Every structure is written in C-alpha cells, then in structure tokens.
Amino acid sequence: MKQFLRLIATVCVAGLVCGFTAPKDDVEKRVEKLLAKMTLEEKIGQMNQLSYSREQPMVSAAKEGKVGSILNLVDPAVINRIQRAAVEESRLGIPVLFSRDVIHGFKTIFPIPLGLAASFDPAMVEAGARVAAEEATAAGIRWTFSPMLDIARDPRWGRVAEGSGEDPYLDSRMAEAMVRGYQTDNLADPTAMAACVKHFVGYGAAEGGRDYNSTNIPPTLMHNVYLPPFEAAVKAGAQTAMTSFNDNDGIPATGNRYMLRDVLRESWGFDGFVVTDWNSAGEMVVHGFAEDNKDAGRIALNAGVDMDMTTGAFINYIPELIEEGKVKMEDVDNAVRNILRVKFRLGLFENPYVEEGLTEKEFYAPDHLEIAKKSAEESVILLQNNNNVLPLKGVKRLVVAGPLADAPYDQLGTWIFDGDQKHTVTPLAALRDMYGKDVEIIYEPGVKYVRSNDTADIPAAVAATKSADAVVVFVGEEARLSGEAHSLANIDLLGAQSQLLAELKATGKPVVAVVMAGRPMTIGKDLANCDAMLYSFHPGTMGGPAIADLLFGKAVPSGKTPMSFLRVVGQVPLYYNHNMGGRPTNRPIRLLADLPVEQNQTSVGGTSNYLDVEHTPLFPFGYGLSYTTFEYSNIKLDKEVYGMNDVIRVEFDLANTGSYDATEVAQLYTRDLVGSVARPVRELKKFDRITLKAGETKHIVFEVPVSELAFYNSELVKAVEPGKFQLWVAGDSNSGKPLSFEVK
Ligand code: NOJ
C-alpha cells in the first residue's frame, strides 16, 4: 500500500513537473544547459562511480560534486543523506545515481537468470524484472547492473548462472523482457530503474571456462552470436552498458574503441552511458595494455567509456590528460551528456529521494512471491521420467533426502546481496506445509552439504526409504559454486551425493532426483541412479512450493534446457548451433571398448568424434519432458520460394496426447544450407509456450520474416543470402523433420 501511495505521489509530481516521459528535445536542452554551467571538475565528478564505504566520505564527495554514481548502498536513510548533500549542497545540485547488482530479484529472489531462460517465457521474465525494480527502487536503487547477456558455451564458467545460456535468439528475447521489466516505458516513474547490459563484450567465451580469462572470438562469430543480444537490449531501450573484464584477441573490452564507438553508438544508436566493470579500467594495466591508471583513463575515455567504476582513472587524471592533449574536452563533454541524459530521463532531478521506513513485509508482497513461484515452476526441466514415476501418485510415506532439501541460502543461487534466506521456502518446508496433511514426510538428508564426503548418514536415509513409498533427493551445487570467480573444472555432483543416489536406488523404491545448480552439470551417471530427474537451476525464494507442486502434479514441468548438457566435461565447448564442419559424425562410431587392438589408421571412419564418448550432448538445447506427451503434425510452409521482403508462415498442429493439461515450448529452427561463410546446423528463430488441455489439439501459425535469416558475412556486412534453407518445428534442437524452402 505504502508503495502504491509512493507511486501515486511521485508519478503526480513527475507528471506535473516534466510530463510523463520528458520529450527528447526537453531532455537534450536541459542536458546542454546544465553542461554549459559545469567546470571540468564537476564533469569528471559525474564520470566517477564509487563503491559505498562509509557515509562521511560519500557525503563529502556528493557535496563537492565528485561522484556521479554510488554502488552498493541500499539504506534509504543513508541514500537520502548523501543525496541531500548532492542536491541541496553541491554547486549545481546534480543528483547521485544509486546502483546495485539486482540480478534476479532484490528481496524476493527469482530463479537465477539461466533458470529464467529455461522458462522460455519472456512475459514472465518481464513480470519478475518489474517486481525486482519495484523492490529495489523502494530502497533507493534506480540503476541495476542487469541483464547479463553473455552467451556461454562452457558450463565450467561459473557465470553461466547469470546469463541466458548458449543461444543468441533466446538471450535476445530474455534481454528485451528484462529491460522492459526494469525500465517500463516511462523511466521517470520512480519504480523504474535503468538497465545495464553487460558484459560488453565476449566475456562468456573465457578460455578454459576460467572467469576473467582472455577470449578469442573472431569477428563474424562476434557479430552473429555474441553481439545480437546486446543489440536487442539496446533497441529495447537499455540505458546503460558495462564493459567486460576480458581482452578479446588482445584488446581489453574497456579499451575497445571499435565496440564502444563504432558498434554500440554509431551502428546501434545507443545514447545512454557506458560504465566500466569494477576496476576494469585499472586492470588494463595488468593486461599489459596500459602503462598505469592514468594511461588506462586515457584509453578508456578515448575508447568511449563514460563512467569509471572504482579505478579513479577519470577523476584523478583527466585534467592532466587534457592539458597534455591526450584526451579531448569534447569526449569529456559527450560522456557527461550521456550520463546526464540518463539522470534526466530517470526523473532524478524532480524526484531524487526515496521514502524511508518501508518494511520487509512490503518487499516480499504476496503478488511478488506468486510471480517468483510461477517463475520457479516454469524454470524447472524434467530430464527423465522412467515409468512415469512423476508426478507422485498414491504416495503415503515420502522420504526427503539430499543436502539441498532444506538449504534456504543455497537455493537462492548466486548474486543475492539483498535476498534474505529467512524468507526462503525450501522444498522440505513446502512439502510439509502443502502436502504434509496427506503424506507423511520423513526428512533424512543422508549427506549434510553438497561438498561433504561424509557417508555416515547415508544408511539412515536408506533405511527410511526402505519403509517409504518413494524418495525425493535434492542434490546439486551450493550457491557459492557458481557465479563470479567460481568456475569449476569438474562439474559432476560433488562429495557423496552420487553415492547417496546410488544407495537409495539400490533400495528398489522409486527415486526422484531434483538437481538445484548454477550450471548444467554432468549428471549422466546419476541418471542411472534415479527414476526421474527434475533439473532446477537455483530456483530462488519460492523454489520449494514450485517444486512441491511439480512433484505432486499440481503443476506440470515445462522448462527446456537453455544450454546443452554435457556427457563429460571434456566435450566443452558443445552447443547446438555449431557449424557442420567438413567431416561430421553421422553414424554410430566404435568407441574405445569395441575397438580391436592393432586397428588401422582409418578404423573409426575419420569423422569428427571422440573415441571414448559420444560426441552428442546428454541433452540438447531446448530439451525438456512433460508429464504429458506432445505431437507435432501437418507442419506446412505457405510457400516454397520466398522473396527478400516476405514473411515465412509455418502452420502446424500441436496435440497434447497425454493425460495432463500442460504447456509445450514449440521451437522453430532454420538452417542456411550454403553461405558465403558456413552457417550453423540449426538456429532458433522463434518459440512460443503453448498450453493445451489433455487431448486438445491447436492449430498454430509461426511467422518469421525472411529478413531474420540475415547474418554477417566475412566483410561484416549483414544480409540474407539467397539460396536453399531448411526449417524445423519441434520440441527441441535435435528433433523434427526438416522442411525445405528457397529464398530468391
Ligand atoms: C563485477 C561484475 O563483473 C559485474 O557483473 C558487477 O555488476 C560489478 N562487479 C559490480 O558489482
């Protein structure tokens, strides 16, 4: 209610003062007017972002106009005191922009972004981002460092948790949804917060999956795969962008003039501002790309960075750099313009303060929790369901086991600065609360925490299971095993978790594994030790109730894999939208075990495979089962030949042939058979969540403009190349029969 009143009051004020969204010209006039009054010191103050340490130094910096933005402060009272110093005591009264990593929720925590991507539900993701913005702005945060749009093809990299996985199309749709949810179409609304697309760019391709490592992405791949989600987010109105830590082909992102000026600003028309990542200007010295922080400031500004996060490279050195003619005043002015533009758009000048005294209860509002539950439900992927063990039926005694059954902190996942584990509803708590009246719930964790090798408690879990109807085992990763700087070279289940599953399976009772993790783990061998497996990327505050309903069939799984699942980590990188290569493996190969000794050189066929493991993924991109079954039929294209300006229209029937009402994520893929550069074997071009009653069939039409078949060629020119194509409509990236068409 308080939030509602706050909204009404501030919207009215903003509406009176500047109209709902200030017209573009007005903002530009205000920017110019203010800029004309600013001294160089005041300008470089705006270009400086500080991390909150203690109040007094921040108040002084604000008063002296030495700070444009502060990160990591969420106390409204302190925010207001610093803001008062900026607005009422500094010479020009420019408000400070308070920022935070609000990555998958502020207080109410949603599934990690990789889980959100598994929902293939941009509308739900937008609703979640809206909740995050409402809660964060209530604490005074008007700028979030989200969405993270780094394409990731390597699950060893801990930060796969923070992105949308391996596919640029899915990532783009998630990017737009988050930007819309955070920003709304009226940035001046006090519940809107500016989005920040990150990490620009290539960060997800860290060599060896080691965070912060160098990347080597060639130009066409960069333009066809890594850049599109950023472009989509910019087109959706994202106000800020953050440079990444990595160097690509030797150029650190914070000093990459081509990316920041030619691509982001010139080609995409971005008019917000660019911030460095934490000390990524200073780290150019470590990269061996800048001599010292002063040189780093020169490189970053010349490359097109507007605001420096924590290095101090701008505030400390720009005056000297200008005097020495190493940077231009014009570039400083433009940087300040970009920053002020966003501050004006956010309505910060009209509405710089935040209401104090909001209570925790208002953060975890019932509708927020409801959206968090729905998001968690949609993000869970059913990977295996032998003998239709799920949903649980006729179960009177249920054993709940595993280290993550009741781990309120860990199920929240990475990057939860503000989410409070005391609001987490764990699966154990939810099962007891929601199903405990009819089902006896026996909790025997077996293994205390994810990394524990202690097997002493396994016998108790086994004994309990022997006298129960089924066991649900919650395994996976602690929150801290993924996220920034938390990469792993081994992505199997850790500790005694696999042993726990194996010993429970040996009881002969139905075993359901629920994996909660920050990445797709190598769970191949564990599949043999469970009848069913639900894969839940860390599901957030309401993960427990969502999973409880899925287990008992009140909800039906609909999530699909946003990244390929590996059989073994040695397959990295493995992604569905790879090129064909010249010698693809297209028939079963003989693996080590059946390879006779002293075979000749060509004995395994000379194709692109491994001798010791299938080259295919354990589960392909876009994969996920349901409690029901779906059938695609009558898939038809409206034409055989399309012109460049046509829209491809695909019709098909989707039938729910099982006995549960459920939702299927229908996916459309294409392949460009011959290109001036070789094209991927499949590319996702469209998807939709389609809900069908048991037994129902729907006639569906998907439309894809021919222009969306365009790609960047080796000259970096984007165009549709005429020729032959294939198209699939299917439930994952590895199914379906291709239709053929031509573009002329
Ligand atoms: C470093 C991370 O790479 C980035 O994602 C984050 O937004 C900043 N730190 C600020 O916390």
pLDDT at position 525 is 97
Please check the confidence at residue 602 and state whether its pLDDT lies above 90: no
Is 708 among the domain residues? Answer: yes
Nearest residue (CA) to ligand 1, atom 3: 277
CA of 277 to the centre of ligand 1 (A): 6
Q: pLDDT per residue over 531-545, tens digit each? A: 999 999 999 999 999
List beta partners, residue 83: none
List CB contacts of 719: < 8 A, sequence separation 6 or more.
Answer: 710, 711, 713
pLDDT at position 592 is 85
CA of 213 to the centre of ligand 1 (A): 15
Please compute the mean of the pLDDT values over residues 1-10 and round it to a whole number.
Answer: 43
Is 647 among the domain residues? Answer: yes
Q: Rounded to whole angstroms, how far apart are CA atoms 70 and 99?
A: 6
Burial bucket for residue 127 (CB in 10 Å: 0-12, 13-18, 19+): buried
Percent of the chain with pLDDT over 90: 92
Asked if residues 282 and 321 have their Cβ atoms less than 8 Å apart, the reply is no
pLDDT at position 8 is 42
CA of 647 to the centre of ligand 1 (A): 40
pLDDT at position 362 is 78
Q: Which atom of ligand 1 is nearest to the CA of 198?
A: 5
- CA 39-45-50 angle, 5° bins: 175
The owner of tokens 């600003």 is 265
Domain containing 301 equals 2-345
Q: Which of 606, 661, 651 is nearest to 630 (CA)?
A: 661
Residue 69's alpha-carbon distances to 305, 312, 341, 506, in angstroms, are 15, 13, 14, 58
Cis ω before 391 (30° cut-off from 0): yes
Residue 274: how many CB atoms within 10 A of its CB? 27
Q: pLDDT per residue over 335-373, tens digit each? A: 999 999 999 999 999 999 999 987 777 799 999 999 999
List residues with catalytic annotation.
277
Q: Rounded to whole angstroms, how far apart are CA atoms 109 and 626?
A: 25
Q: Which atom of ligand 1 is nearest to the CA of 245?
A: 3
Q: Which of 276, 313, 98 is nearest to 199 (CA)?
A: 276
List beta partners, residue 217: none
Q: pLDDT per residue over 403-430, tens digit each? A: 999 999 999 999 999 999 999 999 999 9
pLDDT at position 22 is 61
CA of 308 to the centre of ligand 1 (A): 13
Q: Rounded to whole angstroms, how far apart are CA atoms 163 and 178?
A: 12
Best residue among 100, 197, 242, 307 to mutate for probing ligand 1, ranked by most atoms within 8 Å of CB: 242
Please compute the mean of the pLDDT values over residues 205-209 and round it to a whole number.
Answer: 98
List beta partners, residue 683: 670
Q: Which atom of ligand 1 is nearest to the CA of 72?
A: 11
Nearest residue (CA) to ligand 1, atom 7: 145
Residues with CB under 6 A from ligand 1: 101, 145, 198, 277-278, 484
Q: pLDDT per residue over 34-84, tens digit each? A: 999 999 999 999 999 999 999 999 999 999 999 999 999 999 999 999 999
Looking at 326, 345, 364, the residue that finishes a domain is: 345
Q: Which of 169, 121, 103, 213 is nearest to 575 (CA)?
A: 169
Is 526 among the domain residues? Answer: no
pLDDT classification of 504: cutoffs 50, 70, 90: very high
Looking at 345, 378, 406, the residue that finishes a domain is: 345
- CA 266-270-272 angle, 5° bins: 135
Amino acid residing at 693: K
Q: Which atom of ligand 1 is nearest to the CA of 244?
A: 3
CA of 278 to the centre of ligand 1 (A): 6
Looking at 345, 379, 399, the residue that finishes a domain is: 345
- CA 518-519-524 angle, 5° bins: 130
pLDDT at position 460 is 98
pLDDT classification of 9: cutoffs 50, 70, 90: very low
Nearest residue (CA) to ligand 1, atom 11: 101
- For β-strands 532-537 and 381-385, DSSP reports them as antiparallel
pLDDT classification of 588: cutoffs 50, 70, 90: confident
pLDDT classification of 24: cutoffs 50, 70, 90: confident
pLDDT classification of 17: cutoffs 50, 70, 90: very low
Q: Which atom of ligand 1 is nearest to the CA of 203?
A: 3
Asked if residues 174 and 562 have their Cβ atoms less than 8 Å apart, the reply is no
Best residue among 112, 182, 277 to mutate for probing ligand 1, ranked by most atoms within 8 Å of CB: 277
Q: Rounded to whole angstroms, how far apart are CA atoms 219 and 169?
A: 18
List CB contacts of 287: < 8 A, sequence separation 6 or more.
Answer: 247, 252
Q: Which of 52, 144, 159 is nearest to 106 (CA)?
A: 144
Q: Which of 126-135, 225-234, 601-610, 718-727 has the lowest mean pLDDT?
A: 601-610
Is 474 among the domain residues? Answer: no
Query: Which DSSP state fits 688?
Result: E
Is 304 among the domain residues? Answer: yes
Q: Which atom of ligand 1 is nearest to the CA of 148?
A: 5
Nearest residue (CA) to ligand 1, atom 1: 278
CA of 508 to the centre of ligand 1 (A): 47
Q: How many domains does the chain have?
A: 2
- Dihedral pair phi/psi, residue 734, rounded to 5°: -120, 5
Nearest residue (CA) to ligand 1, atom 10: 278
Q: pLDDT per residue over 635-647, tens digit each? A: 999 999 999 999 9
Residue 359's alpha-carbon distances to 107, 446, 741, in angstroms, are 11, 38, 59
Query: Which DSSP state fits 553?
Result: T
Best residue among 71, 198, 246 to mutate for probing ligand 1, ranked by most atoms within 8 Å of CB: 198
CA of 162 to the centre of ligand 1 (A): 11
Best residue among 160, 162, 193, 484 to mutate for probing ligand 1, ranked by most atoms within 8 Å of CB: 484
Asked if residues 534 and 369 have their Cβ atoms less than 8 Å apart, the reply is no
Radius of gyration of the chain (CA): 27
pTM above 0.85, yes or no: yes
Q: Which of 502, 548, 498 is nearest to 521 (CA)?
A: 498
The CATH number of the domain where 734 resides is what? Answer: 2.60.40.10
Please compute the mean of the pLDDT values over residues 587-596 and round it to a whole number.
Answer: 80
How much is the mean pLDDT over the chain?
A: 95
Is 664 among the domain residues? Answer: yes
Q: Which atom of ligand 1 is nearest to the CA of 162?
A: 5
Please check the confidence at residue 13 and state whether its pLDDT lies above 50: no
Nearest residue (CA) to ligand 1, atom 9: 278
CA of 131 to the centre of ligand 1 (A): 21
Residue 638's alpha-carbon distances to 641, 642, 683, in angstroms, are 9, 9, 20
Best residue among 49, 101, 201 to mutate for probing ligand 1, ranked by most atoms within 8 Å of CB: 101
pLDDT at position 359 is 73
CA of 117 to the centre of ligand 1 (A): 20
Is 165 among the domain residues? Answer: yes
Rounded to the nearest angstrom, the gap between the alpha carbon of residue 691 and the centroid of all alpha carbons in its chain is 24
List CB contacts of 36: < 8 A, sequence separation 6 or more.
Answer: none
Q: Rounded to whole angstroms, how far apart are CA atoms 168 and 173?
A: 9
Is 219 among the domain residues? Answer: yes
The CATH number of the domain where 152 resides is what? Answer: 3.20.20.300
